[in-house]
Amino acid sequence: MGAQTPVTPEKPEQGILPPRVREELNVLREKAKEDLEALKKPEKTQLFKSMFRVKHDESERSRALSVLTNVFFHLHPAKVNRDAVRYSYTWGMGGISFYLFIVLTFTGILLMFYYHPTKGQAYRDIIYLMSDVPFGKLLRNMHRWAAHLMVITVWLHMFRVFLTGSYKKPREFNWCVGVLLLVFTLLLSFTGYLLPDDQLGFWAVTVGTNMARATPLLGAEGPLGPQVGVTPYNDVHFALLGGSIVDSNALLRAYIWHCIAIPVILSILLAVHFWRVRKDGGISGPAPVQLESEMKPERKF
């Protein structure tokens, strides 16, 4: 009988596995240990730091830092990376999306003066606005075009953030806030569709909300829906429309979501988004470029 490698009970794989696999296992074990330690002190984790303000250390410099890095004490950042604010880097799409949101809010408030969210009256209000109200056509079209453009610019902004890798550490949390911003921008656009109460809006919302019937657990025709007691009279489709078909209740619900709830949610998310851009050290930016004029002349001996 030849000598056999002793197998310890804690690490039974030691005698069997090739050295490379054993090394990888050790790395994984170390990583798991670190993760466990992090769970004991969640405020030290990267996830926590990407969401909340980080306390500075107790040095003299930290007192200045806590003022300079605070958005409320010091609205503008103390330093800006020149290359990070170039349009060729940001495409300006975040800023343009925000500008369009302001235009939409302003024109939307003006539109509310001429609109009643009731069946029949809503469509007549739009006809009146387009034909009789001074600058009514311009007002409505400014709102419509700004809405279409905002959907496009938010997508482009997200695409730029992805291309420049700005979703990575320390900006993970802001990326998630951004995803919510995208969802609510699309919902804002969708709920506005029904408001003119024309054929286009009616069928768009009929098709759109019909999809909700197939939602898992929440839709009467979705997976597991009927099993948990969801019927066509208490499912998410019914809740969205306030009934079984697109009618006066649906119009009122779309109006309230469109004019109050979603704009308020978007405004709160935008405030968090901008605050996080600042707290994450400003716009990510490419590696700084040194201009020729800034280069030190070569020393000649």
Nearest to 206 by CA among 183, 190, 230: 190
Which of 90, 107, 191, 209 contacts ligand HEM by CB under 6 A? 90
- Which residue has tokens 């170039």? 86
CA distances from 164 to 84, 86, 284 (A): 11, 13, 8
Which of 50, 107, 191, 284 contacts ligand HEM by CB under 6 A? 284
Nearer to ligand HEM, 181 or 259 (CB): 181
When computed from its CA atoms, the radius of gyration of the chain, rounded to whole angstroms, is 28
Task: Give dist(CA 263, CA 101) in Å, integer.
Answer: 9
- How near is the Cβ of 266 to ligand HEM at its closest, in Å? 6
- How near is the Cβ of 192 to ligand HEM at its closest, in Å? 15
Number of residues that bind ligand HEM (CB under 6 A): 27
By beta carbon distance, the residue nearest ligand HEM is 178
Task: Give dist(CA 239, CA 178) in Å, integer.
Answer: 27
Q: Where are the alpha helices (DSSP H) in the chain?
A: 19-40, 46-51, 60-68, 87-90, 93-112, 121-131, 136-163, 172-194, 199-212, 236-241, 248-256, 262-279
- Other Cβ atoms less than 10 A from the Cβ of 250: the count is 22
- How near is the Cβ of 202 to ligand HEM at its closest, in Å? 27
**279 lies in the site for ligand HEM, by CB under 6 A:** no
Q: Tell me the two tokens of residue 213.
A: 């019937």
**98 lies in the site for ligand HEM, by CB under 6 A:** yes
Binding mask 206-225 for ligand HEM (x = CB under 6 A): --------------------
Nearest to 80 by CA among 277, 272, 273: 277
Nearer to ligand HEM, 173 or 202 (CB): 173
Residues 143-202 that bind ligand HEM (CB under 6 A): 154, 157-158, 161, 164, 166-167, 171, 174-175, 178-179, 181-182, 185
**94 lies in the site for ligand HEM, by CB under 6 A:** yes
**50 lies in the site for ligand HEM, by CB under 6 A:** no
Nearer to ligand HEM, 130 or 151 (CB): 151
- Other Cβ atoms less than 10 A from the Cβ of 40: the count is 7
Binding residues for ligand HEM (CB under 6 A):
90, 93-95, 97-98, 101, 154, 157-158, 161, 164, 166-167, 171, 174-175, 178-179, 181-182, 185, 270, 273, 277, 283-284
